[in-house]
Structure 1
């Protein structure tokens, strides 16, 4: 494996700043017998600068593994005060995309490894690697060990996602299970990898909802029923139900894996007043689940109206969000997909076209009419990137999924927590 990038003792690395008055102090140095590049703010907040090196001979669509290590002193917000940007261009010098190195790994002695494996954009012949430092009054950054290596392509990550609609109820839980079974059989015939059912469809239309009246434990009748279908068709199932855990009643989203095991659960954190008044207690955690499909996050109905829920889940690594709901949440679900740059799967119950699958740019790629009970399926590729021109990065294309995560200002959000 050939490292395509110059080491830090090379004059190919040049300093850059928007204006000489904004330039931090740029230093070439040697630490422990290896070359490093240093940037220092010298007590001024507005300093902003980069070390930049250009790599030519790039092959568009080839996959590259890029990494560099940094050590920061008096840095307020990693990812905001210091970052690495890849600016890809074609043979005419036209900018194509600009991409952050968005993966981090902490090393010994306060060093942090920034890295990313990605395919160069189609038509790319060159890339500028930019090591940036900005907006830190007392901060200092030391960079070492840059690496840019061609790798074997990781390929696509296609999954078949099914969302569902059941909105006719007799008032009997066994009838509800039978309706769910019909839908789950259909999803199995159509070779779904994951099936999302609506919120509390098991109890819908039945008398006796609320604390002391109904609530099932895990395992129980519902989880055993879902587990049988998951094993039979070797897919994942997501739904919500009223869970009784000891003396506490929750509205809980379940994740059943291909083997029929309970792979995880999420307890609805934003409980509307009508649920609180029947004794439902809110959850407090936002788990993300590693599966052979990818990293899954779950929300339930009212959660979708609060952007913090989806943001936390995607900050924790969720690649796709599933939302069992009794409502419709059209605008909110489109917004959450755009906000976070991920696919959102809604399994609704009431209102016009209440169940849908949304891509990371807020486009509905599949939906079910409120007049139709059944499923709708879409094959999505979790490895696919969704770029938009001029999205933050100037005259190039940027990817919302990464940009929104990297360019947040958590240091300025104190009013959210007061």
Structure 2
């Protein structure tokens, strides 16, 4: 048995205990930094992360994903931060929202608590869709509301004894006894549309083929493992999914499957302090004591930032956004690197707040001087957004338009023959221009 957080599990039969609380606090920061760096891509249509994004997240997680070759946590994180409003898809990439940027400066436990509550009602996908061996899910009017199912599992989770291990089969029994059933199929008829391997012979509509453990149980495992576990609410005891559960072998085609889901290996859970806080069972939260939470940095007068302690992946990502990685444990800040960070949408306040938290000395005056100079240069230009540029035939027409009572607030002169019209004011500009007796050919910009 492996009882430590030593990375992803790969061997069949090996049992691992994963203490998720500390790593989730770190991983939240890391994933937000990956978003800030524009490293994460998701489908505009489905909102699901790309394979490259899943690999990128997995490579940066504090102790890796739960399994070596079957992503769980690295798949869940991009969906969780979308559901929480911390990031949105823009041009195929996940971009931090203002709420997401604020989250970088907030206590991680508070952010995780709000992410859990938000995910319950605003999740991006139906978690049951991740149990791919059960086919027919996309048929019309088959599945119940995922929101109701999530809330049911959350109530069951809140009823677990804090700090005590409970086997998932014992949890299943408790849920059924308390009638906490995250019903999957809308009706008995809907069950016939769900199947394993073959839609006729493997249909779950047959008696005994749709046992609670197969449908409601697998959904519960998905919620516990992929979301509650990823957010650090539960400590997990798990095996490789291959052969971990045999409750589906009596179903037609079940013998041909190594596992019914990637979550089959989850054997026991333990509600930890972070979980109690996120579920509203406690009002306060004390983070775990560990030197990794506040890694040591030293900022030298020559603007080298030296790591004198352990740097978490998220901290390395943040430093690399503002400075050049010049040696194994050294990042060098320059005016050029700071200007590039501002151009990429990274505020300097995030850097100074980070350095103040990670150092035990006053930041050198040379850094303050460079930051002040860069800030001054960055505030001398203002982005007013996109505009339509219109050329007039002569300065007299330009003057006529810019002095008109209706038009002067809708445009700005550029030199003596050009006008700039903000795109959101173009329809009003065209309408007022017609009243003046002129027309701009073409259609308004959409």
Q: Shorter chain as normaliser: what TM range?
A: under 0.3
Q: If the length of structure 2 is used for normalisation, what is the TM-score?
A: 0.19
| Structure having the higher Rg | 2
* Structure with the bigger percentage of strand: 1
* Structure with the bigger percentage of helix: 2
Q: If the length of structure 1 is used for normalisation, what is the TM-score?
A: 0.20
